[in-house]
């Protein structure tokens, strides 16, 4: 398991290498990248902010839970912070698995939970110079404490 918040460019190939073993028949790699448009506006880049220490912990917790629910091998997740340009990879998730069904399900659950639970934020920068923090998901507080 390899979960990191990084301020340097993400190398998806390194993630593929990290997760694959000879036990695995399938490796699924998800990469999210900065698009040149959002909700009809021309985008020049995204600035990611994170509560880094908590984000890394939360990623590990999510990886452990997903690992225990699906028959997967190694998982690697890296999320980038700082100023990204169009085309830059913001997040990469690699899941190795003996069988593909588990890899697809685990990968999808990882990205959905990351987006809903991990304390990371993004500020969109537009061609006209405007910037705005994007709307996100309110994380659920634990029921009891």
* Interface contacts to another protein, rule CB under 8 A: 32, 48-51, 53-55, 57, 79, 90-91, 111, 114-123, 133-145
Site residues for a second copy, 83-122, by CB under 8 A, read 86-87, 98, 100, 103-104, 107-108, 111
20 binds, among another protein, a second copy, none (CB under 5 to 8 A by kind): a second copy
In the list 1, 4, 32, 57, the residue contacting a second copy (rule: CB under 8 A) is 32
- Name which of 16 and 111 has its Cβ closer to another protein: 111
Q: Decide: 80 and 6 in contact? Cβ < 8 Å.
A: yes
- In the block, tokens 């990248």 appear at 33
The residue among 35 and 69 lying less far from a second copy, judged by its C-beta, is 35
| Residues with Cβ within 8 Å of residue 119, at least 6 apart in sequence | 50, 51, 54, 55, 58, 139
Spatial CA neighbour of 106 closest among 139, 63, 57, 140: 63
């Amino acid at each position: 398991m390899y979960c990191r918040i990084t301020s340097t460019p993400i190398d998806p190939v390194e993630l593929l290498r990290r997760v694959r073993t000879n036990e695995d028949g399938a490796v699924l790699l998800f990469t999210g990248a900065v698009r040149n448009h959002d909700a009809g506006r021309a985008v020049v880049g995204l600035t990611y902010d994170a509560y880094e220490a908590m984000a890394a912990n939360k990623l590990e917790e999510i990886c452990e839970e997903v690992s225990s629910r699906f028959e997967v091998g190694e998982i690697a997740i890296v999320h980038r912070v700082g100023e990204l340009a169009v085309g830059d990879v913001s997040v990469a998730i690699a899941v190795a698995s003996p069988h593909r069904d588990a890899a697809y399900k685990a990968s999808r659950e990882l990205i959905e939970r990351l987006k809903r639970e991990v304390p990371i934020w993004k500020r969109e920068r537009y061609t006209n110079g405007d910037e705005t923090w994007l709307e996100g998901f309110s994380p659920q507080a634990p029921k009891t404490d």
